[in-house]
A and B are shown apart, each in its own frame.
Chain A
Amino acid sequence: MNIHTYEKFWLIGAMVLIVAFIATVTYGAAGLGIAMVDDEGGTIAPDEIGDHDKFGDPGVHQVGENEYDVYVHAYTFGYSPDTIEIPENSEVTFYVTSSDVTHSFTVVGTNVNTMVIPGEIAEITAQFDEPEEYGILCNEYCGFGHHDMEAELHVVPETEFDLTELAVDAPDEVDTDDQAQVTASVTNGMLEDLDTTVTLEIGNETVEEDVTVAGDSSEDVTFAVDASTLGDGDHDWTVTVDDYTESDQLTVGTDDDGDSDDGDTTEEE
């Protein structure tokens, strides 16, 4: 078989191109550390998602000094959580699974992009250096509302980021000669200790207590308020921890006896 000299040139050129393309991609993988989503994430049956200790309550978890895990549940037609907040300068690993059909988890304008296949957990890690607000969309057709499927990823300055949760347990009513117990549970999802102040404002009074919540745990702070100092009537109260507040109303001096119902309120940011 004789091949014309010019075609031989081109054959060599073509092989150079092919090898160069493979070499570029290999450089991206080995030199720059770009990894493909693979089978590291493991599998999960769709009906196990609700009971899973992380996917059951999807969200952000700190796992190292600047490392976070984000569990995301994709479904027709949305993501839970629908807004993900992470700090700048962090290495974030997303774990994404689907409870129904195939979706994608695609952070718009970035190379953070994976298919989300029911039964599979997609695990992808990326470094977020700058504060930025990204959109997240589904780029795999998933049904009639596919185009409505979106979420947001907020990369916030480190100083604005925490994983604090506040829950307050307080009675709705208390007798005039009794004490009202207001208990604030402060949960710290970060690994570092959280030094903060719990403030209760009730009526005209303000009570503060400093608290240190160890990493990945919670602390209760209980304020005992003498109902007599508040006087009969309705009193608004507010518990504040950093940017988180809880408010409700306490009624003093009703004639009803017996235990009043506790009003439980919980809020996450």
Chain B
Amino acid sequence: MSSATEQTEADTSHEIGHDEYDPIGTLTLIGLYFVVLVLMWFYTYFIEFLGNDPTVIGSVVTAGGIV
């Protein structure tokens, strides 16, 4: 383990919720991932999928069934 940091393996009292370690880098990465997912989902559903008409629709008889 690196000796240059405050946190060492001996620091077994280290608990989540303590201020000693906040995974801010993880939050940053996962925040980026969240944004990418939202953008990609919108692109894939609304542009690729809905722009790929014609699409299977409920016929007159079956419309109003399970939605």
Show the binding face of A for B, using Cβ within 8 Å. 2-7, 9-10, 13, 17, 20-21, 24, 26, 28-30, 32-38, 40, 67, 91, 93, 107, 109-114, 123-129
Contact partner of A6 (CB less than 8 A), chosen from B23, B49, B54, is B23
Cβ of B43 under 8 Å from chain A: no
Query: Which residues of A are found within 8 Å of B58, using beta-carbon distances?
Result: 33-35, 125
B57 touches A126 (CB 8 A): yes
B16 touches A93 (CB 8 A): no
How far is A28 from B41 in the complex, measured between Cα atoms in Å? Answer: 14
Query: Which residues of B are found within 8 Å of A112, using beta-carbon distances?
Result: 54-56
B interface SS class? mixed
Which residues between 24 and 44 of chain B lie within 8 Å of chain A, taking CB atoms? 24, 26-27, 30, 34, 37-38, 41
A4 touches B16 (CB 8 A): yes
Query: Which residues of A are found within 8 Å of B49, using beta-carbon distances?
Result: 28, 111
Write 5 A-B pairs (CB below 8 A) sorted by A numbering: A34-B55, A35-B56, A111-B49, A111-B53, A125-B56
Residue of A nearest to B45 (CB): A24
Query: Which residues of A are found within 8 Å of B2, using beta-carbon distances?
Result: none
Residue of B nearest to A13 (CB): B34
How far is A26 from B67 in the complex, measured between Cα atoms in Å? Answer: 7
A2 touches B16 (CB 8 A): yes
How far is A17 from B35 in the complex, measured between Cα atoms in Å? Answer: 10
Contact partner of B41 (CB less than 8 A), chosen from A9, A10, A24, A32, is A24
Q: A28-B45, A35-B65 are in contact. List 4 more A-B contacts (CB 8 A).
A: A4-B22, A32-B57, A33-B58, A112-B56
